[in-house]
């Protein structure tokens, strides 16, 4: 009879994570016994899991842009109302929904509005 292939570290770590989520007080010895591996492997997995969780806690939430250095760039999250507004702007030019077209539409709209406001300000003087 042939033996099953050895469990990869990634698979084992996933199983360890599932076990400790189900039963947080489970000891490393009991986890090792359930998975048929050594306690030292489980201790390494637990440390790697802690590091992964700590790294995930410091990353920005999904959908939020990472803070950019002050380089004169404006970063916007495209929520649904902004997507709809960009769709209207792109439709005026019959352009596709691509990041480059969204940037072009937003830039054109900002410039047009700024020009309009500048003209109104000049007329009031």
pLDDT (tens digit per residue) in 30-82:
999 999 999 999 999 999 888 888 877 776 656 666 665 667 777 777 778 88
Structure tokens at 95: 């352009």
pLDDT (tens digit per residue) in 76-112:
777 788 888 888 887 877 888 788 887 888 888 888 8
Buried b (16+ CB within 10 A) or exposed e, 10-24: eebbebbbebbeeee
Q: State the pLDDT at residue 116.
A: 86
């Amino acid at each position: 009879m042939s033996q099953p292939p050895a469990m990869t570290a990634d698979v084992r770590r996933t199983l360890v994570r599932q076990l400790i989520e189900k039963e947080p007080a489970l000891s490393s010895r009991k986890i090792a016994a359930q998975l048929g591996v050594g306690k030292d492997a489980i201790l390494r997995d637990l440390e790697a899991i802690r590091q992964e969780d700590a790294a995930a806690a410091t990353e920005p939430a999904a959908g939020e842009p990472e803070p950019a250095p002050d380089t004169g760039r404006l970063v916007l999250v495209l929520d649904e109302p902004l997507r709809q507004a960009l769709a209207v702007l792109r439709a005026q030019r019959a352009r596709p929904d691509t990041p480059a077209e969204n940037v072009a539409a937003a830039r054109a709209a900002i410039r047009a509005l700024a020009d309009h406001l500048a003209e109104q300000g000049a007329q009031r003087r």
